Amino acid sequence: MSTYIAPVRDMQFVMNELAGLEAVTQLPGHEESSPDLVEAIMDEAGKFASEVIDPINSVGDRQGCTWKDGVVTSADGYKDAYKLFVETGWNAMPCATEFGGQGLPTLVSSAVQEMWKSASISFALCPMLTTGAIEAIANHGSDELKNTYLPKMVEGVWTGTMNLTEPQAGSDLSAVRSKAVPQGDGTYRITGTKIFITWGEHDMAENIIHLVLARLPDAPPGVKGISLFLAPKYLVNADGSLGDRNDLICASIEHKMGIHGSATAVMSFGENEGAVGYLVGEVHKGLGYMFTMMNHARLNVGLEGVGVSERAYQHALSYARDRIQGAPIGDKSGVAKAIIHHPDVRRMLMDMKSRTEAMRALAYWVAAQLDHAHNNPDATKAKEAQAMVDLLTPVVKGWSTESSVEITSTGIQVHGGMGFIEETGACQYMRDSRITPIYEGTTAIQANDLVGRKLAKDKDGNGIGGAAARMLIERIRMTVDMLSANSSLSDIAQELSAALFAYETATEWLLAHFDSEPQQALAGAVPYLMLTGIATGGWMMAKAALVAQAHLDSGSTDDFYKAKLATAHYFAAHQLPKVAAYAAEVTEGSASVMSLPESLF
Amino acid sequence: MSTYIAPVRDMQFVMNELAGLEAVTQLPGHEESSPDLVEAIMDEAGKFASEVIDPINSVGDRQGCTWKDGVVTSADGYKDAYKLFVETGWNAMPCATEFGGQGLPTLVSSAVQEMWKSASISFALCPMLTTGAIEAIANHGSDELKNTYLPKMVEGVWTGTMNLTEPQAGSDLSAVRSKAVPQGDGTYRITGTKIFITWGEHDMAENIIHLVLARLPDAPPGVKGISLFLAPKYLVNADGSLGDRNDLICASIEHKMGIHGSATAVMSFGENEGAVGYLVGEVHKGLGYMFTMMNHARLNVGLEGVGVSERAYQHALSYARDRIQGAPIGDKSGVAKAIIHHPDVRRMLMDMKSRTEAMRALAYWVAAQLDHAHNNPDATKAKEAQAMVDLLTPVVKGWSTESSVEITSTGIQVHGGMGFIEETGACQYMRDSRITPIYEGTTAIQANDLVGRKLAKDKDGNGIGGAAARMLIERIRMTVDMLSANSSLSDIAQELSAALFAYETATEWLLAHFDSEPQQALAGAVPYLMLTGIATGGWMMAKAALVAQAHLDSGSTDDFYKAKLATAHYFAAHQLPKVAAYAAEVTEGSASVMSLPESLF
């Protein structure tokens, strides 16, 4: 087994030279995040990921979690690792300072999150869910809820969950049936069954704070009748100590393809007198609150795609350097060499490396836009940044996760027959990655959001859609112009320009068809999401190439920049041509998606 | 769980209307395979696959095989199913009549094999390995070996294995170290360790006949010093009864990502006095014998890709028809419907269906070429058919298996969150499929074979490479011309024409670069294999569209032809544009594959 080494240099390159860390640290509220501090955090986080989390990842995969009579026991080492995680302050790191967090920019916390996810998606899900719950309570909860729950949750001794899905309500949350009945004392009694509740029950925290979507007895049907409640595993006494066990229980846990280290719980609320719940925010607005959190959670799942791809790459690279097999073609010595010298293994590694770099760059860039959207005092800049966040969050989520399944699969392939043997470790990354295009909204849900809300309904002052997309297109065009001025980057200029043309064409086609033929437009939504990911990932790699080339032209002999140029050229030649193929699916292929009647399948 | 239903109609369409079953049944040796008989066989095989094999597939996945003290016990139901398989004559079906087989054309047996593989790759591997061993013994063994072993192996009461791989000799078999020492009595004593031996040990057959690659003491190093031996688990007495246990044992079995129902054995030969082995054919020619079998085995693994894709499609389709979730966009009723009515689910199902059909068509077409190559009395036709077999076997193997990983992954995605739950059954198909691009030669091995031996070294009378590829290109061009004459197929004509151009361009680039820059040529080998698969699969779908359109133009109202047209149009719009993107990787991207020094990864 290889050991995870955080790619700190590439992370810092992206933060500093593509995502504008310096500007982010100068935003109001982030002044304490100096570049020196960020560097120290990255180094420490990298160590924690390598030394504490990475070693338990395969243990969790093998052992899974065990359920007995409602009690879930995590795999060996998880409890201790989580305890250390909390004690060393990592849980609080991304949280606002108000309740004990460090208030780091999203840009920085995203890089740190990537490390946790590389080391173990299963483990990282626990703090990720807690952070999401904290955000919902902080933004929408009463002061009493905030004061009672947030300090412990920020610290991490209590963890959080999101209870959305029910058996009949998956992608369509309007079908939620769980009930919440007011008790007249400000509390509610909740009944219902929730499924797919990540870390819904476990033995790593003193208390588990469930956020639950449910309906009041008089609630209107559909999305406008869903409210958000907080229901703790143990009720909390006025002095903050833990009281009675609430009437909610983990009925079972799922047997999954991957992320075995994390319990995926079926939660049963109110089998007896009803689970005590507290309303978060106003009645009937629960779904909206969930969606405000969702963008951040989706960025985070996109980072899972980045993280697991990086981990699979490192694992495959380690094997490719060690495994001796055959003399490479054209090698006149005839002596067997490490397989990294064979052209197709090299191609696979370049594929994994360059795509992971592109995904990382786009995710961090969007994270930086989120910081600007929240904190930039210039209203226009904040608004433009928010437009980029809205447009590209579904892309980071959908494209990075779909790609991660392919990249982790390539990781298996690099290992040959050994790749299929579980003990080799490559399978786990693929099995773990396979959930990422599904949860927090499937790729289709992301793509529908992108094409519907973020494109067609994103109208400018004249009622014409695609406002943010056009802004993005102009920015990419500026990069093409800069590339064209540099003869050693002309191949990238050419490929990016062709990709941009295809992106524009597909965008205009969707804008022209969404209102009149929404089914046909959405039939091309996933291909459009994928092409947007490749085009914007290619844009990031092109920007990286400009930076690297400038350093080398100024006399730098840093190998990092040479490597970055190599992966940028590779991405341009191997990934950007796919944009046109996806665009053809959108513009030429939509009709054929719906042409076969359901009965003839 | 869905139940597998053999897609007999599509299989017969491909056999009759694309692969020329009638002409194949008229070849010498196949006269008894009348179309009526073939139809009866297909129906019976479909029933056997659905009723006997499909039900044990998930049992094998859950239980796996168990190993204790060298003894391997298969999962519940496997032994009984195999017994019935043998008793009803299915094992003998593809074998030559000489030793008790039915001598069916490869075209027909390929369709039947696809059914076994759809129902359970794990189960189907056992007869597949036996068939391969039979072929090697029949083609290269002495009359004594043939008479002693083949009748029982053809019947299936004894099974066969191929013992090639050793820990240090995976893709590079020249590194084989196992030893065979002549005993002076015509027998040899074999010592060595073989890994990844499929069904190397089990409880379903009375005897297991191992074919083993090993070196004589005086053998030259490398590929020219490897001989092939037959080493039975139980020695066979002169009267055909079973004698002593041979000195070979299953040392352990692997813990794999998929195909849990089949034991993947570590075989230890000669831990005591040496395993008794019998030379097959001449000394030092073992690797050549293995390679003559390999083409057939590779076609068979390609059929695994087809079969598991079909199974995953049927499973996803069943769920998509049942699962109610949300009202599709544009549906004014607002009533929740089965997810098959949602555009992206429809796109995923069309993707799975059309690609599986294309893969099936190409595999069967190549199988028919194999029949012509072996049995066509017209030497020119036989030679041309063999050229197609040689060129396209690595494509059927590599493209169908790589595609099957994507298609089975899409099958999971159709299920949403339920797809990730093992009990849903969709995961197994993806986990099972993941081995197919690895064993019997990885995709890179297939691609190197395609670009090296089957393209660059396939010289015509003037010493110019690419002879078979040019023949193929001319045939595809004829289809483009026929499509162009039919206005309702002009979209397919256009896409196939563009794909053909890209295929030609990539082919010429490789021919121009292979001798001078072999590393760069092979850096594009896998993209070239994939584009060849899509282009030729698209060619098959285009031919299918011509047939279907002709039937409909002649007044047929058969829904099957309407559906075939729909999948052909879909394939043209969604898959064929990828050919140009892959071609760009070959012609523009090879340099960037090798540009990053190994130390900078």
Return the structure tokens found at A503: 């992106």
- Closest approach of chain B CAs to the CA of A210, in angstroms? 20
Do the Cβ atoms of A346 and B522 come within 8 Å?
no
Return the structure tokens found at A231: 């229901």
- Closest approach of chain B CAs to the CA of A524, in angstroms? 8
Tell me what pLDDT residue A96 has: 86
Average pLDDT of every residue of chain A: 97
Tell me what pLDDT residue B32 has: 82
Tell me what percent of chain A is helix, strand and coil, each rounded to the nearest 5: 60, 10, 25
What is the pLDDT confidence band of residue A128, given thresholds at 50, 70 and 90?
very high
Return the structure tokens found at A563: 């490597």
Cβ pair A366, A537 in contact under 8 A: no
Mutation target for B interface from A592, A594, A598, A600: give the one with most B CBs within 10 A: A592
Contact residues, chain A, for B435 at CB < 8 Å: 420
DSSP class of residue B77 equals T
Mind listing the pLDDT tens digit for each residue in B202-228? 999 999 999 999 999 999 999 999 999
What is the pLDDT confidence band of residue A389, given thresholds at 50, 70 and 90?
very high
Tell me what pLDDT residue B292 has: 76
Tell me what pLDDT residue B34 has: 87
B347 touches chain A (CB under 8 A): yes
DSSP-derived secondary structure for A532-571: HHHHHHHHHHHHHHHHHHHHHHTT---HHHHHHHHHHHHH
Q: Is the pLDDT of residue A156 over 90?
A: yes
Helix (H, G, I), strand (E, B) or coil at A231: strand
Helix (H, G, I), strand (E, B) or coil at B66: strand
Do the Cβ atoms of B329 and A405 come within 8 Å?
no
Tell me what pLDDT residue B330 has: 87
Interface predicted TM-score of the whole assembly (ipTM), two decimals: 0.98
Query: How many residues are recorded in chain B?
Result: 601
The residues, ordered by sequence, that sit 6+ positions from A471 with a Cβ below 8 Å of its Cβ are A384, A387, A388
Q: Tally Cβ neighbours within 10 Å of residue B464.
A: 11
Q: Tally Cβ neighbours within 10 Å of residue B40.
A: 11
Rounded Cα distance between A247 and A270, Å, is: 5
Rounded Cα distance between B236 and B208, Å, is: 11
Of A417, A419, A435, the CB nearest to B420: A435
Do the Cβ atoms of A434 and B420 come within 8 Å?
yes
Residue type present at position A238: A
Cβ pair A232, A246 in contact under 8 A: yes
Report angle CA B328, B331, B333 to the nearest 5 degrees.
115
Tell me what pLDDT residue A353 has: 98
Please indicate whether residue B440 is annotated as part of the active site: yes
Number of A/B CB contacts below 8 angstroms equals 266
- Closest approach of chain A CAs to the CA of B417, in angstroms? 6
Mind listing the pLDDT tens digit for each residue in A21-73? 999 999 998 888 888 999 999 999 999 999 999 999 999 999 999 999 999 99
Residue B87 Cα distances to B84, B90, B95, B108, B132, angstroms: 5, 8, 15, 20, 20
Contact residues, chain B, for A600 at CB < 8 Å: 559, 562-563, 566
Rounded Cα distance between B193 and B214, Å, is: 10
Helix (H, G, I), strand (E, B) or coil at B386: helix
Identify the segments of chain B with pLDDT beneath 70. none
- What residue spans define the domains of chain B? 290-593
Cβ pair A520, A506 in contact under 8 A: no
Mean pLDDT of A342-355: 98
Return the structure tokens found at B599: 């130390």
Residue A187 Cα distances to A139, A233, A280, A489, angstroms: 20, 15, 11, 64
Helix (H, G, I), strand (E, B) or coil at B172: coil
DSSP class of residue A456 equals I
Q: Of the listed B166, B201, B310, B440, which one is catalytic? A: B440
Beta strands in B309-446 (DSSP E): none
Residue of B nearest to A171 (CA): B325
Return the structure tokens found at B528: 């070239």
Percent of chain A exceeding pLDDT 90 equals 95
B558 touches chain A (CB under 8 A): no
Report angle CA B377, B380, B386 to the nearest 5 degrees.
90
Do the Cβ atoms of A559 and B431 come within 8 Å?
no
B550 touches chain A (CB under 8 A): no
Rounded Cα distance between A256 and B416, Å, is: 13
- Closest approach of chain A CAs to the CA of B212, in angstroms? 18
238-257 in chain B: CB under 8 A from chain A: 254-257
Of B345, B518, B596, the CB nearest to A350: B596
Mutation target for A interface from B351, B421, B595, B601: give the one with most A CBs within 10 A: B601
A592 touches chain B (CB under 8 A): yes
Mind listing the pLDDT tens digit for each residue in A441-473? 999 999 999 999 999 999 988 989 999 999 999
Do the Cβ atoms of A421 and B255 come within 8 Å?
yes
Rounded Cα distance between B415 and A187, Å, is: 37
Residue of A nearest to B568 (CA): A592
Percent of chain A exceeding pLDDT 70 equals 100
Tell me what pLDDT residue B460 has: 87
Instruction: For helices A286-322 and A379-414, give the axis angle rounded to 10 degrees.
Output: 40
Tell me what pLDDT residue B31 has: 83
What is the pLDDT confidence band of residue A17, given thresholds at 50, 70 and 90?
very high
Tell me what pLDDT residue A182 has: 98
Residue type present at position B6: A
Residue of A nearest to B445 (CA): A344
Q: Which class would CATH give B290-593?
A: mainly alpha
